Amino acid sequence: MKNLLKEISKLAIPEDRWNLLTQQQIKNEWLGGLPVAENEIKIAEDRLGVRFPDDYRRFLLIANGFSAPNDIEPGFEAIDKVDFLKTIDPFLIEVWNETGLDESADLARAIVVAGIDQEQYFLLVPPSTTAIEWKYWKFANWIPGRESFDDLKKYFEHVLDFMREN
């Protein structure tokens, strides 16, 4: 995954038209933060009452946060900012509960790992009694419903493909 993140970083840096990246990110050609220690992951898992999926844990051991590479992707948060969507954006949960759509139950359990204070979120939805696997969703007001991914690697591959094409 690190090579994938490096490729995204190298493509994103020249496109930083709002000068949002730091000089260190530009110099290092790396949008990621410093890696976390295993115990920091455990602290966050204990705080949220979950064990993160292995691919997200590996991501955190590579980068504790990852700046948004473009206008339509969220920036991944540092582990200490990761929290449930119902805590970060309770109004969104309320609105979706009124729709009665399937997504509303999952959104109530979703964990925001990217996009706090941005126009889009990347969510991890923990397993439930009806779904035994973690769900990986990009969720934005401008996306009808949500965009699903099989895993974190597939999401970052999607980001890289989009960046190469545009």
101 pLDDT band, cuts 50/70/90, is low
Report the C-alpha dihedral over residues 31, 34, 39, 43, rounded to 10 degrees: -50
Of 76, 73, 88, 84, residue with least CA distance to 106: 84
Task: Tell me the C-alpha distance between 139 and 114, whole Å.
Answer: 10
Range of the domain at 91: 2-165
| CB distance 112 to 86 below 8 Å | no
Task: Tell me the C-alpha distance between 100 and 87, whole Å.
Answer: 20
**Domain count of the chain?**
1
What's residue 109's pLDDT?
Answer: 93
Of 77, 53, 82, 81, residue with least CA distance to 66: 77
Angle at 59 between CA 54 and CA 57, to 5 degrees: 35
Mean residue pLDDT of the chain comes to 92
Report pLDDT digits (tens) over 135-150.
999 988 777 778 999 9
Of 132, 52, 121, 56, residue with least CA distance to 93: 121
Of 78, 91, 63, residue with least CA distance to 1: 63
* C-alpha torsion sign, points 154, 157, 161, 166: positive
- pTM of the full predicted structure? 0.92
Residue with more model confidence, 94 or 13: 13
Task: Tell me the C-alpha distance between 104 and 98, whole Å.
Answer: 8
Look up the CATH number of the domain holding residue 138.
3.40.1580.10
